[in-house]
Amino acid sequence: MKYIAIFISKICLFILEKIGRGTSLPGQIARKIDPNILKKIDRPKTMIAVTGSSGKTSTAYMIYQVLKENGYRVANNSKGSNLLDGVISLFLKHCTFLGKNKLDAMVLEVDERYTKQVFDQVHPTHVVLSNITRDQPPRHGDYKTVYHVIESAVEKDAILIVNADDPIATTLSFGHLGENIYYGMTKNKESYNGLVSNCLDMVYCPKCNRKLDYDYVQFSNVGAYHCSNCDFERPKRHYEITEFGKNKIQINHKFSIQTNYQMLYFFYNILAAFSCCSYLGIEEKKITKCLNNIELLNQRFEEFYFKKRKVQILTGKNENAISYNQAMNYIQNKEEMKTIIFGFEYISKRYPYQDISWLYDIDFEFLTNVDKFICIGPFAADIASRISITGIGEENILMEREIGQVAKLLPKTKGNIYAVLNMGTEQKFIEGINQLNR
């Protein structure tokens, strides 16, 4: 019986892959045939799960690349689904008809709300936890709901690799019976002296309910925190970004990594990948070599010119304020006069709700030297309403619901152009610009 389920599922996988539906459907079919299919396939010796509210895809992909280039036989679901069926499909793809695993390691990106379901089946040996923040509330509920799911999912013998700067993630790690490996960041020129963001989740001590004190804050509630009333504090970091140079970062004063991505949250992803790989025993020099200038899916940073003005497009897989705040932080650090374009075609691929409350968690209030703020897409008026309470004068807020038409507004504006685009807007915007540039 055991082999029949694997046999049929592998055939399905083969056919479905040919027609481009090989990501989660084969897993779904396999689970129908045998709900315990994963128990019948060997696990690779190293089973890494990457989870958290953001940074999963990039971090998992980097770990995968490092392992692959260092001789591991390794698989990763970054192009597929991060729910249970996608994981089953990946297992099926990499096992023999007798259920023998052909891999040394697997690097799984796991949707945080499904960690319990997935971990119960795959038993990760290493769990990388990037952060826990408010994110897509119609799907996830509040951050505490996500916290409880992850808490119940991480098994006691797993190694937990945790962002030490996120007080919610570390609270979880303090209850973890297995080993904790911490990573974090020192103060840098983008750090704040205290809590300033609109977007704050836990800022009270989870042990004694006193408000946490911060030596510095990287963004939202992430930074160097401690409680003045009890012993709750940011744990010591095994891996720390100690220097921030132009297009490079240095870890533990020794290991430099070149990077084109300039936002702090991205540095956290690189650091998480480095920490995980170093802990696995891969020589640090080999890790840095592999992570140098790594190119990522979904993380683009385009730059071109429109009538002698520099245009930078900042895109990401943004579905929450935390990632938008990184873009805002980047723009805020550019001191010149600028025009900002902001918008999206739809709010989420995954739910139909028109909740726009997260717009108020984005720190537009910090922007300075803004000539014009152009709100684009079907939610342009909602964005303009949001911007109107920041202190940017209403006469400097423009609206354009048709994204392709935005370029026509640009001659009325001044300064370099920063376009924070998401969810189906990027291509239309570039086409509009190109028409005028001709």
Partner 1 sequence: MTVTIAHLYYDLLNLYGEVGNVRILKKVLEEQGIQVRVEFLTIGDPLEFKNYDFVYMGMGIEENLILVNEHLKPYKKDIEKYIESGKCMLCSGNSYELFGKFIRFPKQKIETLGIFSFTSKQLEQRKVLEVSAKSKYFDKKIIGFMNTRSFNNNKKNFFLTIQSESSSFKEGILYHNFIGTYTIGPLLIRNPDLLKKIVSMILAKKRKNYKLKEFHLNFLEQAYQDCLKRRTI
Candidates 92, 128, 153, 397: give the one binding partner 1 (CB under 8 A).
Answer: 397
Q: Can you tell me the distance from the alpha carbon of 320 to that of 326, in angstroms, rounded to the nearest whole number?
A: 11
Q: Are the CB atoms for 162 and 183 separated by under 8 Å?
A: yes
Candidates 35, 71, 138, 194: give the one binding partner 1 (CB under 8 A).
Answer: 138
Tell whether residue 384 is a contact of partner 1 (CB under 8 A).
yes
Q: Can you tell me the distance from the alpha carbon of 232 to that of 224, in angstroms, rounded to the nearest whole number?
A: 12
Residue among 234, 251, 418, 257 nearest 326 (CA)? 418
Tell whether residue 399 is a contact of partner 1 (CB under 8 A).
yes
Candidates 308, 357, 395, 411: give the one binding partner 1 (CB under 8 A).
Answer: 357
Candidate segments 3-11, 200-208, 227-235, 265-273, binder of partner 1 by CB under 8 A: 200-208
Tell whether residue 345 is a contact of partner 1 (CB under 8 A).
no
**Closer CB to partner 1, residue 142 or residue 157?**
142
Q: How far is the CB of 141 from partner 1 (least distance, A)?
A: 6
Candidates 373, 379, 418, 429: give the one binding partner 1 (CB under 8 A).
Answer: 379
Q: Are the CB atoms for 257 and 288 separated by under 8 Å?
A: yes
Tell whether residue 264 is a contact of partner 1 (CB under 8 A).
no
Tell whether residue 137 is a contact of partner 1 (CB under 8 A).
yes
Q: Can you tell me the distance from the alpha carbon of 271 to that of 276, in angstroms, rounded to the nearest whole number?
A: 9
Candidates 336, 355, 402, 431: give the one binding partner 1 (CB under 8 A).
Answer: 355
Size of the site for partner 1 (CB under 8 A): 36
Match 């795959």 to its residue by tokens: 122
Candidate segments 180-188, 267-275, 305-313, 349-357, binder of partner 1 by CB under 8 A: 349-357
**Closer CB to partner 1, residue 188 or residue 388?**
388
For residue 437, CA distances in Å to 129, 430, 433 come to 44, 10, 6
Vertex 110: Cα angle to 235 and 28 (nearest 5): 160
Q: Can you tell me the distance from the alpha carbon of 54 to that of 347, in angstroms, rounded to the nearest whole number?
A: 17
**Closer CB to partner 1, residue 230 or residue 389?**
389
**Closer CB to partner 1, residue 248 or residue 350?**
350
Tell whether residue 204 is a contact of partner 1 (CB under 8 A).
yes
370-376 and 338-344: which strand pairing? parallel
Candidate segments 32-40, 134-142, 299-307, 308-316, binder of partner 1 by CB under 8 A: 134-142
Candidate segments 106-114, 198-206, 293-301, 302-310, binder of partner 1 by CB under 8 A: 198-206
Q: How far is the CB of 314 from partner 1 (least distance, A)?
A: 21
**Close Cβ partners of 155 (under 8 Å, ≥ 6 residues apart):** 119, 123, 124, 178
Candidates 194, 381, 402, 427: give the one binding partner 1 (CB under 8 A).
Answer: 381
The DSSP-derived string for 347-398 is S-SS------GGGGGS-GGG--SEEEEEEESTTHHHHHHHHTTTTS-GGGEE
Tell whether residue 262 is a contact of partner 1 (CB under 8 A).
no
Tell whether residue 266 is a contact of partner 1 (CB under 8 A).
no
Candidates 231, 335, 394, 395: give the one binding partner 1 (CB under 8 A).
Answer: 394
Secondary-structure percent of the chain, ordered helix, strand, coil, rounded to 5: 40, 25, 40
Tell whether residue 143 is a contact of partner 1 (CB under 8 A).
yes
For residue 100, CA distances in Å to 10, 32, 43, 258, 385 come to 13, 21, 8, 39, 58
Tell whether residue 361 is a contact of partner 1 (CB under 8 A).
yes
Tell whether residue 142 is a contact of partner 1 (CB under 8 A).
yes
Q: How far is the CB of 135 from partner 1 (least distance, A)?
A: 12
Residue among 263, 239, 256 nearest 186 (CA)? 239
Q: Are the CB atoms for 161 and 107 separated by under 8 Å?
A: no
Q: Footprint of partner 1 on residues 64-123 (CB under 8 A)?
A: none
Interface positions with partner 1 (CB under 8 A): 134, 137-138, 141-144, 195, 198, 200, 203-204, 209, 211, 351, 353-361, 378-379, 381-382, 384-386, 388-389, 394, 397, 399
